[in-house]
């Protein structure tokens, strides 16, 4: 592995954890040595895996190891920072109350807590990430909803991220679970893949097995643009999935109509200027008899334009609900909504936590989901 800034940065962060935590484990020499060895292995394997993923020669075992270490490192780093904040607060408290507690005991106990808590979070997060996503049922109240559309159901999957660690069997289990919902339509709201059609076509093929009354509809996410969006749009259409690129279709359902629109990813224009995300353009020319106007948009921050265009409901993903603590607290710095059903003026926005995961196979505090949305009268 060639030296790179990533290698140096990873080494420095691991040194920080070792410097702050290892002395507190002196009472348990085997644990101290084991944790030290873990930090060394992590500092080496993490950047090796990142370089391997970018090279033409794929090393699946190294990729898996790198991502597992990355998930553990994230928790270790955050917990080490929190421990330092705790110890600083304790030291300040002792300035005003010298006999309040023994700070050395706190140092030892908190040092032991860091790897233990990180280990629990990593194992629990791995099991959550690798299981098939649970069904989350959501009722969306729509004003003046035609009787024919009462109970209209949408199965939403998003952010599956088929790639290095999520492949054919993982997607097949999702498809089987979605099909058991017997939904009126299926929405796939972007970030389906992390890789090229040449690499991943066989692993995406199960998507052709999705069934519903009105079919499966897809909009691009930012990762489609990283992976070759034009080729993926063609491949999904070959599989029988209808891709909506700033356009709409009308679904006739029991004498009523659903205007279903989809936009390209919010940042699509950075990759393909002609595909600038535009909810108003997606509705242009639509008939006026729609009982509900539904928009598929990968990122929640499309909501302001969707509300202005007159949509009733927007389905999004992108955020992963933060995927694992504490990153869910930072999503709001970029997106207006992190997860769940929210109101923006006359628009409902549902943001899924995602059906797969990205990067480390870890979900902690933000479980994956397959969403069953049902339209009900307000």
236-240: long-range contacts (C-beta < 8 A, 24 or more apart)?
Answer: 236/192, 236/204, 236/207, 239/204, 239/205, 239/207, 239/208, 240/208, 240/215, 240/216
Among 106, 101, 112, residue whose Cα is nearest residue 26: 112
Q: What is the pLDDT of residue 48?
A: 85
Cα separation, 144 vs 375, in Å, equals 11
Cα separation, 260 vs 311, in Å, equals 10
Q: pTM higher than 0.95, yes or no?
A: no
In the chain, the domains with their CATH numbers are 5-130 (no CATH), 134-377 (3.60.21.10)
3-state secondary structure of 218: strand
Which residues are CB-neighbours of 303 under 8 A, at least 6 positions away? 297, 314, 316, 336, 337, 344, 347, 349
Q: Please, what sign has the CA dihedral across residues 20, 21, 25, 29?
A: negative
Q: What is the pLDDT of residue 47?
A: 87
* Residue 180 DSSP code: T
Among 230, 310, 302, 306, residue whose Cα is nearest residue 266: 302
Q: What is the pLDDT of residue 1?
A: 46
- Ordered DSSP codes for 254-312: TTEEEEEEE---TTGGGT-GGG---HHHHHTT--S--SEEEEE-SSGGGHHHHHHHT-S
* pLDDT by position in tens, the chain (length 378): 445 777 888 899 999 999 999 999 999 999 999 999 999 999 999 988 776 666 666 688 899 999 999 999 999 999 999 999 999 999 999 888 888 788 899 999 999 999 999 999 999 999 999 999 999 999 999 999 999 999 999 999 999 999 999 999 999 999 999 999 999 999 999 999 999 999 999 999 999 999 999 999 999 999 999 999 999 999 999 999 999 999 999 999 999 999 999 999 999 999 999 999 999 999 999 998 899 999 999 999 999 999 999 999 999 999 999 998 888 888 988 999 999 999 999 999 999 999 999 999 999 999 999 999 999 999
Cα separation, 153 vs 372, in Å, equals 7
3-state secondary structure of 362: coil
* Residue 364 DSSP code: B
Q: What is the pLDDT of residue 170?
A: 98
* Residue 78 DSSP code: H
Cα separation, 301 vs 305, in Å, equals 8
- Ordered DSSP codes for 96-146: H-TTS--HHHHHHHHHHHHHHHHHHHHHHHHHHHHSPPEEEEEEEEETT--
């Amino acid at each position: 592995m060639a030296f790179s800034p990533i290698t140096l940065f990873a080494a420095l962060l691991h040194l920080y954890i070792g410097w702050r935590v290892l002395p507190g484990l002196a009472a348990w020499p085997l644990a101290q040595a084991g944790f030290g060895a873990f930090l060394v292995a992590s500092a080496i394997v993490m950047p090796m895996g990142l370089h391997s993923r970018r090279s033409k020669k794929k090393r699946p075992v190294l990729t898996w190891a790198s991502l597992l270490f990355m998930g553990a490192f994230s928790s270790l780093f955050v917990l080490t920072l929190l421990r330092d904040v705790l110890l600083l607060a304790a030291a300040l408290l002792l300035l005003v109350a010298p006999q309040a507690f023994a700070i050395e005991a706190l140092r030892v106990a908190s040092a032991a807590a860091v790897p233990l808590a990180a280990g629990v979070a990593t194992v629990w997060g791995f099991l959550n990430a690798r299981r098939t996503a649970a069904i989350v049922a959501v009722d969306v109240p729509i004003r003046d909803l035609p009787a024919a559309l009462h109970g209209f159901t949408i199965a939403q999957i998003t952010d599956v991220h088929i790639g290095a660690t999520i492949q054919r069997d993982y997607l097949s289990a999702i498809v089987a679970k979605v099909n058991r919902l017997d939904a009126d339509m299926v929405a796939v709201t972007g970030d389906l893949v992390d890789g090229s059609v040449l690499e991943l076509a066989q692993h995406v093929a199960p998507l052709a097995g999705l069934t519903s009354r009105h079919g499966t509809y897809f909009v691009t996410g930012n990762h489609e643009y990283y992976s070759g969006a034009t080729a993926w749009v063609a491949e999904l259409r070959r599989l029988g999935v209808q891709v909506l690129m700033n356009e709409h279709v009308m679904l006739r359902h029991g004498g009523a109509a659903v205007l279903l629109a989809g936009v390209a990813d919010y940042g699509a224009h950075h990759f393909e200027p002609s595909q600038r995300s535009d909810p108003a353009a997606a509705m242009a020319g639509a008939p006026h008899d729609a009982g509900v106007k539904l928009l598929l948009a990968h990122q929640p921050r499309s909501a302001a334009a969707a509300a202005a265009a007159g949509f009733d409901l927007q389905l999004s993903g992108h955020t992963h609900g933060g995927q694992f603590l504490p990153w869910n607290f930072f999503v709001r710095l970029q997106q207006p909504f992190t997860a769940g059903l929210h109101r923006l003026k006359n628009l409902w926005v549902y943001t899924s936590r995602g059906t797969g995961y990205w990067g480390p196979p870890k979900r902690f505090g933000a479980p994956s989901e397959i969403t069953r949305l049902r339209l009900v009268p307000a």
